[in-house]
Amino acid sequence: MIKVLAIDDEPLALRQLELYIGKVPYLDLIASCPSAVAAREHIGKADAVFIDINMPDLNGMDFVKSLENPPLVVFTTAYSEYAVEGFRIDAAGYLLKPFSFEEFRRTAERLQQRIEEKKAAQAAALAADHIFFKTDYKNVRVDFNDIIWIESMSEYIKIHLTGDAAPLVILYSLRKIAEQLPSDRFCRVHRSYIVSLSHIREAGSNSLTLTDGKTVPVSDSYRQSLKEALA
């Protein structure tokens, strides 16, 4: 089952989301919220969220951007101009109001596929010792042992390597690379950083010192997962 959250300030639109979610057997509605502010207490339990964009106090786009560890997101809105921005933050879907149940069902199928792909990528990563990236029209192999830390740079990531190797800058999202790295060897510790567990020299309550001397912050959203990874 995919645990989902529905967020919309319009009661009729929220009710429609509830009904549509109830018709899809693999979706489990854990909460239905009239605002992004009200959704904050539930967001950590959700695998995915269906969220309106234009809402008072805090709009859906800003809410998603504010999350350090967001679930998969499907935007529901009457305004098509947000589609490009939704793509930039790697939204799993975009439903333009008014949308039919068939449109919703197809989006739910894509959501399910994204989650299955994520699980498959994580399983493959556990069995591998390297990853390939396409850069400068070449496929570059990067061994997991050589990665010290990875940082997000807007639409790019920067991979810092051992020895004298120059960092690799690649058009890729931090979320996507996190799904492809073995979870027993790497841990996301901040919305902007992933670290190799074997390259942690010192672990403090709010930061890590790595073997190359870099100090990386640890945010509240990832502190527990780091603690479990180091146990």
Secondary structure (3-state) at 87: helix
- Same-domain check for residues 73 and 13: yes
- Same-domain check for residues 26 and 138: no
- Same-domain check for residues 225 and 161: yes
Question: pLDDT tens across 165-204, in order?
Answer: 899 999 988 988 998 899 899 999 999 999 999 999 999 8
- Same-domain check for residues 106 and 36: yes
- Same-domain check for residues 115 and 14: yes
Question: pLDDT tens across 204-214, in order?
Answer: 889 999 999 99
Distances (CA, A) of 214 to 149, 197, 210: 9, 14, 5
- Same-domain check for residues 22 and 94: yes
Q: What is the pTM assigned to this prediction?
A: 0.71
- Same-domain check for residues 120 and 146: no
* Range list of H helices, 11-100: 11-23, 36-39, 60-66, 83-88
- Same-domain check for residues 149 and 103: no
Instruction: Point out the domain boundary residue: 104, 125, 146.
Output: 125
Length of the chain: 231
- Same-domain check for residues 121 and 17: yes
- Same-domain check for residues 49 and 155: no
- Same-domain check for residues 17 and 118: yes
| Domain containing residue 112: CATH number | 3.40.50.2300
Number of structural domains, the chain?
2
Instruction: Point out the domain boundary residue: 125, 157, 175.
Output: 125
| pLDDT (0 to 100) of residue 87 | 59
**How many CB atoms lie under 10 A from the CB of residue 203?**
15
Distances (CA, A) of 124 to 129, 140, 149, 179, 182: 10, 18, 20, 10, 8
Question: pLDDT tens across 21-54, in order?
Answer: 999 999 999 999 999 999 999 998 999 999 999 8
* Range list of H helices, 83-182: 83-88, 101-127, 174-180
Give me 221's structure tokens: 């959203």
Hey, which residues does 210 pair with through a beta bridge? 200
Instruction: Point out the domain boundary residue: 125, 147, 182.
Output: 125
* Beta strand 2-7 pairing with 27-33: parallel
On the 0-12 / 13-18 / 19+ scale of CB atoms within 10 A, 40 is: middle
- Same-domain check for residues 155 and 86: no
| Domain containing residue 211: CATH number | 2.40.50.1020
Domain that holds residue 155: 128-230
Give me 156's structure tokens: 């790019």
Question: pLDDT tens across 71-112, in order?
Answer: 999 999 887 665 556 556 778 888 999 999 999 999 999 999
